[in-house]
Structure 1
Amino acid sequence: MNIIESNIANLPTKHGKFKIKAYKQGYQEHLAIMSENFENLDVINLRIHSECLTGDVFGSIKCDCQKQLELAIEYIAKNGGLIIYHRQEGRNIGLLNKVNAYSLQDAGKNTVEANLALGFREDEREYSIVEYIIKDLGIKKINVLTNNPAKMKFLEGLDVEIVERIPTIVEPNCYNKNYLNTKKEQLGHML
């Protein structure tokens, strides 16, 4: 695996002061966003956040991505830890295909059905870069901020101790209610 790493830099935000490091794997560039006290923590509060440009940047309420990211940033600003910003847009089908999936969802398909109709699996993400980042940063014990059982299963296969799973539950709205139900019923999310 050919990975290029940046140096660590300061990242002051409206939520507090963080450190940031970038990792490039192929054409994708991922981020590790660490609290200032990251190196002093025995147990790392970890959020693996999959990129969602429409939610994270533009505030789309068709999903719960921005709300989950905000919860994680606030939690880690207060309690310390790490956010891995996993740059695999649209469950790794890319932005163009994600917009096509949105169009299919507008026509009545759910998020899983839309991905399948486009010729993809329900979730195309892979986590080798996450494993690399965890090893690179010397992480041994974690609390995981997630509702996603696939992320938990992946982390259980690593050489890290999972101390606790911390749910990242957000209130549904009329635009994302079906999306959240699909995540719960078809993808097994712990909502």
Structure 2
Amino acid sequence: MRDTVQGRDLPTATVRTRVPVPLRFGDGYAVDAELVTFHGLTDGREHLAVVLGTPAAGTVPLVRLHSECLTGDVFGSARCDCGPQLREAVERIAERGGVLLYLRQEGRGIGLYNKLDAYALQDEGLDTYAANAALGLPEDARDYAPAAQMLEALGIGALDLLSNNPDKAAQLRGLGLDVQSRVPTGVFATEHNVPYLRAKVLQTQHTLPLPELPGQQRWSSTA
């Protein structure tokens, strides 16, 4: 596979290990998954594929690229929507059949410590992207070439992408994947993360309709 975005050849990644793991969430939701590790990813990081369900015949898998967020995924931070998005994605992908790629790209690729430095600047009034810039860091340093390698190793060439972020779809298409449609996630707004969500809409054109009133809004599979 060739990366036509940045003009570099991508080596072929291979599956290292497949392990069945039952997943259990704090709200009681449970599902059986298969966790997949890889050899040969370009950035050398330990990215993980979470295979959930089986797509119906004649349909493409539902795929989410989920960037690691220790504060949101593990500690339940209300400053972002990452934890609720992860929980939503697992259930929606399990129902449809597909894969969640858990990518080790903390803080949109800048790392945990830098992310917390950026949080401190956000508390002084900067938005999430301006805070990164003030630290001399990219607004978004994520490269989805390893995700393309992982999908290729899993035999996935065509997919529907569960994401509000147009850059994810653009990068995957540039890397040779057939992203047939982009499926929006739910909106998980709280009084703490509305400025963060608004910045994503205004700065990077996320397709994210924000509610007028903050407060936790759970996703609905029928919405």
Fold shared, TM-score > 0.5 on shorter chain? yes
Bigger shift: residues 52-61 or 37-46: 37-46
Alignment equivalent of 1:184, drawn from 178, 189, 201: 201
Q: Secondary structure at the match of 1:138?
A: coil
Aligned: 1:71 with 2:88: yes
Residue 77 of structure 1 aligns with an amino acid whose one-letter code is A
Matched residue, 1:95: 112
Q: Secondary structure at the match of 1:8?
A: strand
Structure-2 separation of matches of 1:86 and 1:38:
22
Q: Which runs of 5+ in 1 are unaligned?
A: none
Structure-2 separation of matches of 1:28 and 1:21:
14
Structure-2 separation of matches of 1:57 and 1:67:
11
User: 2:48–2:101: 8 Å Cα contact kept in structure 1?
Assistant: yes
Q: Within 5 Å, which residues of 2 pair with 1:33-112? A: 33-37=50-54, 42-112=59-129
Structure-1 separation of matches of 2:54 and 2:35:
13
Aligned: 1:119 with 2:132: no
Matched residue, 1:21: 36
Residue 167 of structure 1 aligns with an amino acid whose one-letter code is P
Alignment identity in percent? 41
Bigger shift: residues 13-22 or 81-90: 13-22
Aligned: 1:134 with 2:144: no
Aligned: 1:12 with 2:22: yes
Residue 7 of structure 1 aligns with an amino acid whose one-letter code is T
Residue 148 of structure 2 aligns with an amino acid whose one-letter code is E
Structure-2 separation of matches of 1:92 and 1:40:
36
Bigger shift: residues 36-45 or 153-162: 36-45
TM-score w.r.t. structure 2 length? 0.80
Structure-2 separation of matches of 1:23 and 1:119:
32
* Alignment deviations for residues 16-57 of structure 1 (CA, whole Å, 9 cap, x no partner): 111111236455210000014269774010000011110000
Q: Secondary structure at the match of 2:66?
A: strand
User: 2:56–2:97: 8 Å Cα contact kept in structure 1?
Assistant: no
Q: Within 5 Å, which residues of 2 pair with 1:143-162? A: 143-162=160-179
Structure number having the greater helix percentage: 1
Matched residue, 2:191: 174
Given the superposition, is the C-alpha separation of residues 4 and 152 from structure 1 closer, same or farther in structure 2, using an over 3 Å criterion?
A: closer
Given the superposition, is the C-alpha separation of residues 54 and 12 from structure 1 closer, same or farther in structure 2, using an over 3 Å criterion?
A: same
Displacement after TM superposition at 1:112 (Å)? 0.4
TM-score w.r.t. structure 1 length? 0.92
Count of residues paired in the alignment:
191
Given the superposition, is the C-alpha separation of residues 4 and 156 from structure 1 closer, same or farther in structure 2, using an over 3 Å criterion?
A: closer
Q: Which runs of 5+ in 2 are unaligned?
A: 1-9, 25-29, 209-223
User: 1:92–1:123: 8 Å Cα contact kept in structure 2?
Assistant: yes
Displacement after TM superposition at 1:4 (Å)? 7.5
Larger Rg computed on CA atoms: 2
User: 1:38–1:82: 8 Å Cα contact kept in structure 2?
Assistant: no
Residue 98 of structure 1 aligns with an amino acid whose one-letter code is K
